[in-house]
Structure 1
Amino acid sequence: MLAEVTTRATEAEARAREAAEARDGLVSTFNQLKDDRYWMRDHGIGHIVKAILDAPENTVGVDLIRLHAREAGFKAGYNRCISHINILSKGEYIDERSGI
Structure 2
Amino acid sequence: MTADARDLMVTAQEVARLRDAEQLEVRDVGLAALILHFLRSEAEVEDSAAVSLSPEMLPMADEVQEIMTSGEGALRNSELVELARREESELSEYLGPVWRAMKGY
Q: Name the TM-score, length of structure 2 as normaliser.
A: 0.26
| Higher helix fraction (1 or 2) | 1
Q: Taking structure 1 as the reference length, what is the TM-score of the superposition? A: 0.27
When Rg is computed on C-alpha atoms for both structures, the one with the higher figure is: 1
| Structure possessing the higher relative contact order (Cα contacts under 8 Å, 6 or more residues apart) | 2
